[in-house]
Amino acid sequence: MRELFLVDETEEDGWQERALCAQTDPEAFFPEKGGSTREAKKVCLTCEVQTDCLEYALGNDERFGIWGGLSERERRKLKKRAV
């Protein structure tokens, strides 16, 4: 007999509910071109799910905003170094 395992997607993405950015102005994490990312990155530094957030962004090719404390450009550089 085959066993069936149900995957609870809410558990996998549960980190998003614990993210400090969920309690902050979202516009800080998606600044206009040339806008400051300082405040968003400051929030990320103290966030308990920073690593989960960055892994999500890298795994889902997020191209906009601050994720895991890194900008799009910083994530691109990180990906290039990993190759």
- Binding site for [4Fe-4S] cluster: what residues are annotated? 21, 44, 47, 53
Q: Say what the pLDDT of residue 56 is.
A: 97
pLDDT tens-digit readout, 4-58: 444 444 456 799 999 999 999 989 999 988 899 999 999 999 999 999 999 999 9
- Binding site: what residues are annotated? 21, 44, 47, 53
- Answer whether 54's CB lies under 8 Å from 69's CB: yes
Global confidence as pTM: 0.80
